[in-house]
A and B are shown apart, each in its own frame.
Chain A
Amino acid sequence: MSIKVRYFASLKESVGRPEDDLTTTGLLTVKEVWNRANPGKSLPGNILAAVNMEYVEFDSIVNDGDEVAFFPPVTGG
Chain B
Amino acid sequence: MTVKISAEVFDPYQEIQAYQNTRLANSGAVGATSIFIGTMRDFNEGVNVKGMTLEYYPGMTEKQLEKIITEAQQQWPIIECLVIHRVGEILPIESIVLVAVWSSHRGDAFDASRYIMEALKSRAPFWKKELLVTENERWVANNTDGYKPG
Contact = CB atoms under 8 A, between A and B. Distances in A.
Interface of A: 6, 8-10, 46, 50, 53-55, 69, 71-77
Interface string B38-79: 100000000000000011110110011000000000000000
Contacts, number: 73
Contacts of A77: 38, 85, 96-97, 117, 120-121, 124, 126, 143
A11 to B, nearest CB: 9
Chain B interface residue bracket vs A: 20 to 34
A64 to B, nearest CB: 19
Given A9-B55, A53-B57, A55-B123, A74 B139 contact: no
Given A53-B59, A53-B60, A69-B60, A74 B96 contact: no
A71 B128 CA distance: 13
**Which 3 residue pairs are nearest across A and B when measured between Cβ atoms?**
A76-B126, A9-B127, A53-B60
A73 B55 contact: no
Interface of B: 38, 54-57, 59-60, 63-64, 85, 96-97, 117, 120-129, 139-143
Contact of B128 (A53, A54, A69, A76): A76
A74 B143 CA distance: 7
B139 A9 contact: yes
B59 A8 contact: no
B57 A8 contact: yes
Contacts of A10: 127, 139
Given A9-B127, A9-B129, A73 B63 contact: no
Contacts of B60: 50, 53-54, 69
Nearest to A71: B125
Nearest to B85: A76
B104 to A, nearest CB: 26
A2 B139 CA distance: 32
Most central of A50, A73, A75 by chain B CB within 10 Å: A75
